Amino acid sequence: MHVFAGIAVSDFDVAAEWYERLFGGPPTMIPTHGEAVWRLTDSASVFIVADDARAGSALVTIAVRDLDELGLAPHRMVDEPGAPLRAVFADPDGNTLSFFAEI
């Protein structure tokens, strides 16, 4: 099984640049014009796709080894009792990506 988390964006070029900084490099593959995929693990990928009508509504949560590995400063940090520390990002369209350190 492989999970692909899709994120719709209104301006593909602007979003691709932002996600390259977030994930620390270029996409793993570009299957079609207006679509880019970052393979995060052997069984999980995040992709962006140009889709103006759906842009800004995604909510993705990703577990990472270290929050300091992320290529951008988070929009905000969330530290709630009993929950792992989360770094929350909003892409240029307002899609929300939350990262937390694996325990």
Distance between alpha carbon 9 and the CA centroid of its chain, in Å? 12
Could you give the CA distance from residue 34 to residue 49 in angstroms, rounded to a whole number?
A: 6
- Are 37 and 45 contacting, i.e. CB atoms less than 8 angstroms apart? yes
Q: What is the pLDDT of residue 68?
A: 87
Query: Which residue type is seen at 16?
Result: A
Q: What is the pLDDT of residues 21-73, one digit of tens each?
A: 999 999 999 999 999 999 999 999 999 999 999 999 999 999 999 898 888 99
Q: pTM of the prediction?
A: 0.91
CA distances from 84 to 1, 38, 47, 63, 102 (A): 26, 24, 25, 10, 8
- Are 41 and 8 contacting, i.e. CB atoms less than 8 angstroms apart? no
